[in-house]
Amino acid sequence: MEKWITAIFLLIFSQLIFPQTVKEVEIPKNIKIEESIIKETLIKNLFYEEIYQIGVFYIIDDYIYMTNYRPPEIMKLNLKGELVDRGGRRGQGPGEFQFCKDIRKLKDNIIFMAPYSVRMIVYNKELKFIREFEVEKMYMGFFVNKRNELIMITRAWPGNPYYYDVLSEDGKFLRHFHRRKNQPTGETISFDRATDQVYIPEEDSFWVAMANCYALQYYQNENLKVEIRAKKDFFKWVDKEYGNVTYKSYLDNSIYLAWSNNRLYHFFRKDEQIFCDIFDTRNYQLEKRMRIKHNYSGIAHHKDNIFYAVLYDENGDMLLYRLIVQLS
């Protein structure tokens, strides 16, 4: 116990005496956009599995987990798009929810948020309810680190200065990190938050994509180490008003982030099209930018350079695709 206290003290003291420096990388302008280097294969029309409108979409241990809006439930499919299990229902009772967000693996189970509430819900992988607990406030999202701590994403703004809270696996507050810089008075308020993230257990590190600009941030030991940015106005926005506050409403945005074999994949929507930037995380340089053929509603990483995605066809049916990125 004394060794842990000493280690924590030294870590905090060293950060005060030797401020952390952040490596900043700017993406070049006028990047060549490559076409037709992603192999897109239709796997299945999910209408036949009674999936009509999905919310979130993840792959955990070679199974697809997605939420069905009508009725609200979690669906588990194999990689052929075949239904394996389904669970959950609308309500406020134990294990019930109106919507579901950020399905993550927690030990041998899955855990997810019930948005617009302060509840975290745990199911087993057969989608049977195990337990739930409340947290102190509503969060924008979360992920789980290798110590089974919950890294909760907050909306950082003048009244809430931190980007991340760390909770125990039963929701007890442990610490927070990355304090927001003060915003100059009179500026249009930007409600900063991470829109997606990818955790790397081998390094105990993670990447996040910010929602309000093209900014990819790399954290190690809960310290910001690298930030990759495009030019300031790369993502377009319009100013809107809410009461006496003017804020930025973005027309372009980050969609999905994945990491594998020293490559970071960043999917983003710009000018009503989807692109994917691939970075080499050994030097943080952009390798290529690809235009995606279809305007997918959701994307999930399976392994290596293999992804799955969903979109609506002209009849409103949900289609499941496999995407293979051609890296050579």
CATH of the domain at 83: 2.120.10.30
Residues 6+ apart with CB under 8 A from 155: 140, 191, 192, 193
3-class state of residue 46 by DSSP: helix
* Distance between first and last Cα of the chain: 50
Distance (Å, rounded) from C-alpha 2 to C-alpha 46?
55
Q: Is residue 16 part of a domain?
A: no
Give the count of alpha carbons within 13 A of 208, CB side only: 25
Q: Is residue 171 part of a domain?
A: yes
Distance (Å, rounded) from C-alpha 325 to C-alpha 292?
10
Q: Is residue 3 part of a domain?
A: no
Task: Enter the DSSP assignment of 49.
Answer: G
Q: Residue 191 corresponds to which tokens in the numbers above?
A: 């409600």
Number of domains in the chain: 1
Query: pTM for the complete prediction?
Result: 0.87
Q: Is residue 310 part of a domain?
A: yes
Residues making up the chain, counted from first to last? 328
Q: Is residue 2 part of a domain?
A: no
Q: Is residue 301 part of a domain?
A: yes
Q: Is residue 19 part of a domain?
A: no
pLDDT in tens, the chain (328 residues): 555 455 444 444 444 444 568 999 999 888 899 987 889 999 999 988 888 888 889 999 999 999 887 778 999 999 999 999 999 888 888 888 888 889 999 999 999 998 777 899 999 999 999 999 999 988 888 999 999 999 998 876 656 677 899 999 999 999 999 887 665 445 544 556 678 899 999 889 999 998 778 999 999 999 999 999 998 888 888 888 877 777 777 889 899 999 999 999 999 999 999 999 999 999 999 999 999 999 999 999 999 999 999 999 999 999 999 999 988 7
Question: Which residue range is the domain that position 80 belongs to?
Answer: 25-325
Cis amide leading into 71 (omega within 30): yes
Q: Is residue 166 part of a domain?
A: yes
Distance (Å, rounded) from C-alpha 69 to C-alpha 277?
30
